[in-house]
Chains A and B, each alone.
Chain A
Amino acid sequence: MFWDRKKEETFKKKPEIKPELKIIKEKILEKRPELVIKKPLKIKEVEGKYNPTLNENLFGEVEKAKTRDGFGEALVKLGGINEKVVVLSADLAHSVRTMWFQQKFPERFFQVGIAEANMTGVAAGLARMGKIPFMATFGVFATGRNWDQVRMSIAYPKMNVKICASHTGVFSVGADGASHQSTEDITLMRVLPNMTVIIPCDKLETYKATFATAEIFGPVYLRFGREGMPVVTTEETPFKVGRAETFREGDDVSIIACGPMVYEALVASKKLEKEGIDARVINNHTIKPMDKKTIVKAARETGAIVTAEEHQVLGGMGSSVAEALSNDNPVPIKMIGIYNRFGESGNFKDLQKALGLTSDNIVKTVKEVLRSH
């Protein structure tokens, strides 16, 4: 158990159901009975709802760590285990933490300079010769600058290249402004056949995900960031590519998040508890191939979904959830993300607020989706 133990007693008490919420739920049942849970609605006790392997300080003084460090550390470890692993950099070895690999395995490190298109092709050629290339740079340059090269030289021929993007989203490079804020990369990568897309939620998960990519034969897009972000998971938290992890059980609504928004989603779930809303929280780290089973189950059992990502909503993770559900189990979905605009310079907190990428906005949106039934 990781929540504040002092407050544990209070959770054992059954939370009160607010009268307006009751009305909302009754309305849900009236309007779309086929879409919502069949069992009688009741708000369960919160105890034991959170995944017991999560960081126990999650809602207290939570530690922060840089996801890029998890990537850099995993690469060094991988390099020692598998000599086929090679690393390519386009002048950002320090920033994206590939320099640690460079220091340890200089002969397997290839600096190509500020030339992302060329780096992509060189990685493909190395893969053709049986190597496992990890090419790493900032998100905008790893996926957009070289998109046709990724499509033609990597995705189409199914080359075993790992495209690793640091400084993604807006949290990482806030002050740099829109040029460096990678907010379209999920869309750009997930549209490509043969591509696996993974977005770990914290440093530990980035470490695990980096390892996992080497086990997959074929192109993988791995998305992480620069800033220190709350450590949500522990070593015990399960991670399997293609399997979404439920971080909190809940019956009223599902919050499906990826990357740093997983933390925000968990914080939101805590706030929602106080309002009597029992939210399921899912860490949907693999955007492609997506864990349709878990997503459909969540839709079926909770009847409403809010997605949260640090990315454009057009074509992003939320879209992929909507696509997955539209056939099998359509339920009301609201998406949190960036709405058809570029970012701008600003510090992390200000940007987060301006773009609505906060736990408060998740809380607000959850209430909206419940009302929209």
Chain B
Amino acid sequence: MKVDEAIRTEKITDVSELKEIARKLRVDIIKMTNAAGSGHPGGSLSSADIVAVLYFNILNHKPKNPKWEDRDVFILSKGHCCPVVYSAMARSGYFPIEELLTLRKLGSRLQGHPHCRDLNGIEASTGSLGQGLSIAIGAALGIRLDKRKSRVYCLMGDGEQQEGQIWEAAMSATHYKLDNLCGIVDRNRLQIDGFTKDVMDYEPLEEKYRSFGWNVITIDGHDISALIKAFNRAKRVKGKPTVIIADTIKGKGISFMENVAVWHGQAPNDEQMKKALNDLGEH
């Protein structure tokens, strides 16, 4: 893989620049999963714009000082989509971009599902679905106890909404009036066994969160400006947590992966990678 130079680490506000970053994250996802021979490209691709906006515009973080006390906390509850987060971390300066190709290999810090004891900047070890929101709530409570201004972001899958723990957590976030917490649901409507509506319909999702007392914002999860606007609106909400429900396409950006369930957990072979990179305008 011919790696790109690391993108600058200060906050990026230019939408076309963020779009280009999201494209690069997608390129990385394809190359990483191809090199690993396994992994989860589908949900990583659907989250690429969300993660690009978070890491390059929204989060207050210092990639060279991951344990900076006043950082915002980002928790990837859908741990299998770590390729997109690893890519965003490498490209914002947490670790060398070359290391991305070690994904899922023995001795690598880039575990198949993220592990916070291996890689600085990962806040929680995830992979067993439904647990990230609870951890985010604990972090939000801890931050409030310390009277700090940091915010906590938790990216969840939509299939993950089927886990009961999500709703235990949803209840407690409003009970504790956690306005420093922002959940994001990547609603790509596919899970391993097929369409979420067929496997176990979690809809109406907005109404569920609203009835649990959350502020709910629904947006197009591939619209960079809409994402920025939603995250900033969430910051202004007082007395309750916000969830951004981001409508996305699983496998977004790769013609043959879009809306195809099998690409949830299958890596592209060399030929498929070539085609995928071509779709992304990478030659």
- Spell out A's residues near B (CB within 8 Å): 86, 107-108, 110, 112-113, 115, 117-131, 133, 148-149, 151-153, 156-158
Is there an interface contact between A122 and B134, defined as CB atoms closer than 8 Å? Answer: yes
Bound-state CA distance A110–B131 (Å) is 18
Is there an interface contact between B138 and A125, defined as CB atoms closer than 8 Å? Answer: yes
Cβ 8 A contact of B145, one of A86, A118, A148, A152:
A86
* Chain B residues closer than 8 Å to A158, beta-carbon distance: 117
Most buried by A among B128, B135, B165: B135
* Chain B residues closer than 8 Å to A122, beta-carbon distance: 134-135, 137-138, 141, 169, 172
- In the assembled complex, the CB of A193 is this many whole angstroms from the nearest CB of chain B, namely 11
Residue of B nearest to A131 (CB): B142
Is there an interface contact between A125 and B139, defined as CB atoms closer than 8 Å? Answer: yes
Residue of B nearest to A151 (CB): B128
* Chain B residues closer than 8 Å to A107, beta-carbon distance: 145
Cβ 8 A contact of B128, one of A115, A128, A152:
A152
Which residues of B139-177 have CB atoms within 8 Å of chain A's CB atoms? Answer: 139-143, 145-146, 164-165, 168-169, 171-172, 175-176
Is B35 positioned at the interface, with any CB of A under 8 Å from its CB? no
Bound-state CA distance A108–B133 (Å) is 20
Is there an interface contact between B171 and A153, defined as CB atoms closer than 8 Å? Answer: no
Stretch at the interface among B119-127, B244-252, B261-269: B119-127
* Chain A residues closer than 8 Å to B164, beta-carbon distance: 117
The majority secondary structure among interface residues of chain B is helix
Residue of A nearest to B114 (CB): A157
Is there an interface contact between B133 and A121, defined as CB atoms closer than 8 Å? Answer: yes
Given A86-B145, A157-B115, A121-B125 contact (CB < 8 Å): no
Is there an interface contact between B139 and A126, defined as CB atoms closer than 8 Å? Answer: yes
Cβ 8 A contact of B134, one of A86, A121, A127, A148:
A121
Is there an interface contact between B138 and A152, defined as CB atoms closer than 8 Å? Answer: no
Bound-state CA distance A131–B115 (Å) is 20
Is there an interface contact between B117 and A129, defined as CB atoms closer than 8 Å? Answer: no
Bound-state CA distance A86–B136 (Å) is 16
Is there an interface contact between A128 and B127, defined as CB atoms closer than 8 Å? Answer: no
Is there an interface contact between A128 and B165, defined as CB atoms closer than 8 Å? Answer: no
The majority secondary structure among interface residues of chain A is helix
Is there an interface contact between B125 and A129, defined as CB atoms closer than 8 Å? Answer: no
Is there an interface contact between A125 and B116, defined as CB atoms closer than 8 Å? Answer: no
Could you list some 30 contacts between A and B, CB below 8 A?
A: A86-B142, A108-B145, A113-B168, A113-B175, A115-B165, A115-B168, A115-B171, A117-B165, A118-B137, A118-B172, A120-B134, A121-B137, A121-B138, A121-B165, A123-B138, A125-B140, A126-B139, A128-B139, A128-B142, A129-B139, A129-B143, A131-B145, A149-B131, A152-B125, A152-B126, A152-B131, A156-B125, A157-B115, A157-B124, A158-B117
Bound-state CA distance A157–B142 (Å) is 18
Is there an interface contact between B124 and A124, defined as CB atoms closer than 8 Å? Answer: yes
8 nearest A-B residue pairs (beta carbon): A125-B138, A121-B134, A129-B142, A118-B168, A115-B168, A122-B138, A125-B139, A157-B125
* Sample of 20 further A-B pairs with CB below 8 A, known A128-B135, A131-B142, A149-B165: A86-B145, A112-B172, A113-B168, A115-B165, A115-B172, A118-B169, A120-B134, A121-B135, A122-B134, A122-B135, A122-B172, A125-B135, A125-B136, A125-B141, A126-B138, A127-B138, A128-B73, A128-B116, A129-B146, A151-B128
* Chain A residues closer than 8 Å to B142, beta-carbon distance: 86, 125-126, 128-131
* Chain B residues closer than 8 Å to A151, beta-carbon distance: 128
Cβ 8 A contact of A153, one of B131, B141, B175:
B131
Residue of A nearest to B133 (CB): A121
Is there an interface contact between A121 and B131, defined as CB atoms closer than 8 Å? Answer: yes
* Chain A residues closer than 8 Å to B115, beta-carbon distance: 156-157
Cβ 8 A contact of B138, one of A115, A129, A148:
A129
* Chain B residues closer than 8 Å to A128, beta-carbon distance: 73, 116, 123-124, 135, 138-139, 142
Bound-state CA distance A158–B145 (Å) is 22
* Chain A residues closer than 8 Å to B136, beta-carbon distance: 125
Is there an interface contact between A125 and B145, defined as CB atoms closer than 8 Å? Answer: no
- In the assembled complex, the CB of A192 is this many whole angstroms from the nearest CB of chain B, namely 13
- In the assembled complex, the CB of A161 is this many whole angstroms from the nearest CB of chain B, namely 9
- In the assembled complex, the CB of A111 is this many whole angstroms from the nearest CB of chain B, namely 9
Bound-state CA distance A202–B155 (Å) is 45
- In the assembled complex, the CB of A319 is this many whole angstroms from the nearest CB of chain B, namely 26
* Chain B residues closer than 8 Å to A113, beta-carbon distance: 168, 171-172, 175
* Chain B residues closer than 8 Å to A119, beta-carbon distance: 134
Residue of A nearest to B123 (CB): A128
Is there an interface contact between B169 and A153, defined as CB atoms closer than 8 Å? Answer: no
Is there an interface contact between A124 and B135, defined as CB atoms closer than 8 Å? Answer: yes
Cβ 8 A contact of A157, one of B116, B132, B133:
B116
Is there an interface contact between B141 and A118, defined as CB atoms closer than 8 Å? Answer: no
